[in-house]
Structure 1
Amino acid sequence: MVIAVFTESFRPVVNGVSVSVETFARELTALGHEVHVFAPRYPGYTDNWPFQVHRLPSITTPFARDYPLPIPISGRLHRLLLDAGTNLIHTQSPFLSGWSGAFWAKKLHIPLVTTHHTIYTEYVHYAKIVPPALAKRVVIAITRRHSNRANLVIVPTEPIIGLLRSYGVIAPIKAVPTGVDVESIASAPPEWAINQYGIPEGSKVVLYAGRLAPEKNVLELIRAFALISRARSDVVFLVVGGGPSADDCKRLAASLGIGERVRFTGVLHPPHLYSCYAAADLMLYPSLTDTQGMVLCEALAAGTPCVAANAYGATSVVQHGIDGILVPGSAESLAQAALELLSDPEKLEAMSRNARENAKRFSRRECALKMLSAYNEAIQNAEKELLFKSKR
Structure 2
Amino acid sequence: MAFAGKKRRVLFIVENLPSPFDRRVWQEATTLEEAGYEVSIICPTGKGFERKFEVIDNIHIYRHSLPLEADGAAGYALEYSAALFWEFYLAFKVLFTRGFDAIHACNPPDLIFIVGGFFRFFFGKKFLFDHHDINPELYEAKFNRRDLFYKIMLLCERLTFKTASVSIATNESYKEVAIRRGGMPADRVHVVRSGPMLDRLRIVEPVHELKKGRKYLVGYVGVMGKQEGIDYLLRAAKFLIKDKGREDIHFGLVGGGTELENLEEYARNLGVADYVTFTGRVPDDELLAMLNTADVCVNPDVANEMNDKSTMNKIMEYMALAKPIVQFDLIEGKFSAGESSLYAKRNDEEDFAEKILQLLGDPELRTTMGEFGRNRVISQLEWSFEQPKLLDAYDQLFAS
TM range (shorter): 0.7 to 0.9
Could you tell which deviates more after superposition, 220-229 or 50-59? 50-59
Q: Look up the equivalent residue of 1:47 and give its one-letter code.
A: E
**CA displacement 1:221-270 (0-9 Å, x = unmatched):** 11112223343332211111222222332233233332221122222221
How far apart, CA to CA, are the structure 1 residues paired with 2:63 and 2:276? 41
Q: Secondary structure at the match of 1:220?
A: helix
Provide the residue aligned with 1:200 in structure 2.
213
How far apart, CA to CA, are the structure 1 residues paired with 2:368 and 2:94? 56
Provide the residue aligned with 2:133 in structure 1.
118
Could you tell which deviates more after superposition, 261-270 or 324-333? 324-333
Could you tell which deviates more after superposition, 270-279 or 72-81? 72-81
How far apart, CA to CA, are the structure 2 residues paired with 1:131 and 1:281? 37
- Residue of 10, 34, 38 corresponding to 2:38: 34
Provide the residue aligned with 1:249 in structure 2.
263
Provide the residue aligned with 1:285 in structure 2.
299
- Residue of 59, 63, 66 corresponding to 2:75: 63
Q: Secondary structure at the match of 2:75?
A: coil
How far apart, CA to CA, are the structure 2 residues paired with 1:152 and 1:70? 22
Provide the residue aligned with 1:388 in structure 2.
none
- Residue of 301, 319, 323 corresponding to 1:300: 319
Offset, 1:109: 4.0
Q: Secondary structure at the match of 2:199?
A: helix
Q: Look up the equivalent residue of 2:15 and give its one-letter code.
A: E
How far apart, CA to CA, are the structure 1 residues paired with 2:75 and 2:191? 31
Offset, 1:138: 0.6
Offset, 1:2: 2.6
How far apart, CA to CA, are the structure 1 residues paired with 2:314 and 2:94? 38
Provide the residue aligned with 2:240 in structure 1.
228
How far apart, CA to CA, are the structure 2 residues paired with 1:141 and 1:150? 14
Matched ranges for 1:65-214 at <5 A: 68-71=82-85, 72-74=87-89, 77=92, 80=95, 84=99, 86=101, 88-93=102-107, 95-124=110-139, 133-171=147-185, 172-191=188-207, 194-195=208-209, 197-200=210-213, 203-214=215-226
Does residue 352 of structure 2 align to residue 334 of structure 1? Answer: yes
How far apart, CA to CA, are the structure 1 residues paired with 2:276 and 2:100? 53
* CA pair 206-148 structure 1, distance change in 2 beyond 3 A: same
**Residues 12, 40 of structure 2: 8 Å contact kept:** yes
**Residues 188, 271 of structure 1: 8 Å contact kept:** no
Provide the residue aligned with 1:9 in structure 2.
16
Q: Look up the equivalent residue of 1:29 and give its one-letter code.
A: E
How far apart, CA to CA, are the structure 1 residues paired with 2:272 and 2:91? 56
* CA pair 286-131 structure 1, distance change in 2 beyond 3 A: closer
Aligned residues: 370
Q: Secondary structure at the match of 2:284?
A: coil
Q: Look up the equivalent residue of 2:318 and give its one-letter code.
A: A
* CA pair 90-378 structure 1, distance change in 2 beyond 3 A: same
How far apart, CA to CA, are the structure 1 residues paired with 2:88 and 2:206? 48
How far apart, CA to CA, are the structure 2 residues paired with 1:31 and 1:75? 25
Does residue 341 of structure 2 align to residue 324 of structure 1? Answer: yes
Structure 2: runs of 5+ lacking an equivalent: 1-7, 69-73
Structure 1: runs of 5+ lacking an equivalent: 383-392
How far apart, CA to CA, are the structure 1 residues paired with 2:65 and 2:217? 42
Does residue 270 of structure 2 align to residue 267 of structure 1? Answer: no
How far apart, CA to CA, are the structure 2 residues paired with 1:108 and 1:97? 16
Q: Look up the equivalent residue of 1:199 and give its one-letter code.
A: K
TM-score by length of 1: 0.82
How far apart, CA to CA, are the structure 1 residues paired with 2:62 and 2:352? 43
Does residue 390 of structure 2 align to residue 371 of structure 1? Answer: yes
Offset, 1:96: 4.2
Q: Look up the equivalent residue of 2:12 and give its one-letter code.
A: V
Q: Secondary structure at the match of 1:3?
A: strand
Provide the residue aligned with 1:358 in structure 2.
376
**CA displacement 1:49-106 (0-9 Å, x = unmatched):** 22443638776366158885132444973982796462x3311136443321233234
* CA pair 239-78 structure 1, distance change in 2 beyond 3 A: closer
How far apart, CA to CA, are the structure 2 residues paired with 1:226 and 1:297? 27
Q: Secondary structure at the match of 1:237?
A: strand
**Residues 154, 175 of structure 1: 8 Å contact kept:** yes
**Residues 6, 38 of structure 1: 8 Å contact kept:** yes
Offset, 1:219: 0.7
* CA pair 37-356 structure 1, distance change in 2 beyond 3 A: same
**Residues 94, 100 of structure 2: 8 Å contact kept:** no
How far apart, CA to CA, are the structure 1 residues paired with 2:31 and 2:316? 17
Could you tell which deviates more after superposition, 348-357 or 90-99? 90-99
RMSD, matched Cα: 3.2
Q: Look up the equivalent residue of 2:228 and give its one-letter code.
A: K
**Residues 20, 26 of structure 2: 8 Å contact kept:** no
How far apart, CA to CA, are the structure 2 residues paired with 1:323 and 1:365? 21
**Residues 142, 227 of structure 2: 8 Å contact kept:** no
Q: Look up the equivalent residue of 1:306 and give its one-letter code.
A: I
**Residues 92, 117 of structure 1: 8 Å contact kept:** yes
Offset, 1:272: 1.1
